[in-house]
Amino acid sequence: MANCDSIFKVFDEDIILHDTRRDSLKKSRKALRNRIKEYFKEEKPDEIKPKFYGQGSFMMGIAINPIPKVVTEDGKEVSKHKYDVDDGIYFIGKESERKAVQTYHNWIWDAVDGHTDTPPVDKNTCIRVIYHDGHNIDLPIYFLVKGDDDAVPQLAHKSKSWLDSDPREFVTWFTGIADAQKKDQLRSLVRYMKAWADYQNNSSGTSKMPPGMVMTIWAAENACYNERDDVALRDTLQAIRDTLTDAFECNRPTVPAGENLLDDYKYEEYFLGRLDAFLESAKQAVNETNQKTACGKWQTHLGPRFPCRLAEDKDMGARAYGTPAIIQENAKSA
């Protein structure tokens, strides 16, 4: 059968967040942190000083280079890279020191206003800082009761007040699964799925794929490991499809545990159609004997960034691929 593992490895190198971009985003994050610290030092000297904790895909090593979006500025077309970075802001103190949700939102908004040319956005879950090159830094705000070993961070949510939420625990949960593998295949699988979603979102009009956190949980809970990335992805897609046949849901594995992250998702039929089509092509690609033909089947769903220029246009023989997938204990068999 056609082996596209080497092509996937090159694709992974293309989509992974490169060191130059990572360093640039870290620099943006550090500048924001310093600005917020200075604001509280000068404007709120008697209030609890904020602490910071990075969260999201940036911290887990699964952030990808998104497909650039072309926009028109001053009559010229320019490319924007829609990176999203999450940086949690924590206020740790006594319960009696806790302020209202909107108070914290106002403080952080005031602290970062003027940092970029675009005014920050006060969202329900965070303050968003928007940069000219297209990337955003989201600043969710948490309060943690000091001295209470059982306390969990609570998110300052504008419409739902204080909500138990611990992104740090999610990072620990994911990295524990990913780092337990001898090779770092889970992170690659997540990046492939996020790249698939990115390409579909750029090609599908108004319908949208589930967010990256959902893709991350599905991949982690259904990962089927294999010495070949193409086989591992096919089997993982099958395991996810089997799981969704029972119920179309994605339950958060950490605080607030059991929360269905798809409660507000409106495109179930669209997504399942995309998943079924991708899975069928994945099966055909793995069984294909011509590497170039197989590569084209993957590229249909992953987009032109998938490097079929590297594929050989020759019959590799109808050899059965007999190495079994290494399936997680909590994953369904493909």
- pLDDT by residue (tens digit) across 246-273? 999 999 999 999 999 999 999 999 999 9
Buried b (16+ CB within 10 A) or exposed e, 185-223: bbbbbbbbbbbbbbbbeeeeeeeebbebbbbbbbbbbbb
- Tell me what percent of the residues of the chain surpass a pLDDT of 70: 95
- Judged by DSSP in three states, 293 sits in helix
pLDDT value of position 130: 95
Judgement on whether residues 43 and 65 belong to the same structural domain of the protein: yes
Judgement on whether residues 177 and 155 belong to the same structural domain of the protein: no
Judgement on whether residues 129 and 70 belong to the same structural domain of the protein: yes
Look at residues 211, 204, 235, 180 and name the one whose alpha carbon lies nearest to residue 303: 204
pLDDT value of position 317: 66
End position of a domain, from candidates 165, 187, 211:
165
pLDDT tier for residue 141 given thresholds of 50, 70 and 90: very high
Q: What is the per-residue pLDDT across 149-189, written as a single tens digit (0 to 9) for each?
A: 889 999 999 999 999 999 999 999 999 999 998 789 999 99
Q: Which segment of 114-128, 198-212, 219-233, 238-252 scores lowest on mean pLDDT?
A: 198-212
Domain that holds residue 52: 19-165
Q: What is the per-residue pLDDT across 186-222, written as a single tens digit (0 to 9) for each?
A: 999 999 999 999 999 998 778 999 999 999 999 999 9
Judgement on whether residues 29 and 78 belong to the same structural domain of the protein: yes
Active site residue 315: no
Q: Would you say residue 332 has pLDDT above 60?
A: no
Active site residue 84: yes
Catalytic residue among 12, 86, 230, 235: 86
Asked if residue 333 is part of any domain, the answer here is: no
Judgement on whether residues 51 and 131 belong to the same structural domain of the protein: yes
Judgement on whether residues 161 and 182 belong to the same structural domain of the protein: no
How many other CB atoms sit within 10 Å of the CB of residue 39?
17
Catalytic residue among 5, 74, 117, 138: 138
Judgement on whether residues 271 and 316 belong to the same structural domain of the protein: yes
Active site residue 86: yes
Higher per-residue pLDDT: 161 or 330? 161
Judgement on whether residues 254 and 218 belong to the same structural domain of the protein: yes
Look at residues 256, 50, 48 and name the one whose alpha carbon lies nearest to residue 163: 256
End position of a domain, from candidates 165, 192, 209:
165
Domains: count for the chain = 2
Asked if residue 332 is part of any domain, the answer here is: no
Judgement on whether residues 34 and 98 belong to the same structural domain of the protein: yes
Asked if residue 334 is part of any domain, the answer here is: no
Judgement on whether residues 319 and 180 belong to the same structural domain of the protein: yes
Asked if residue 199 is part of any domain, the answer here is: yes
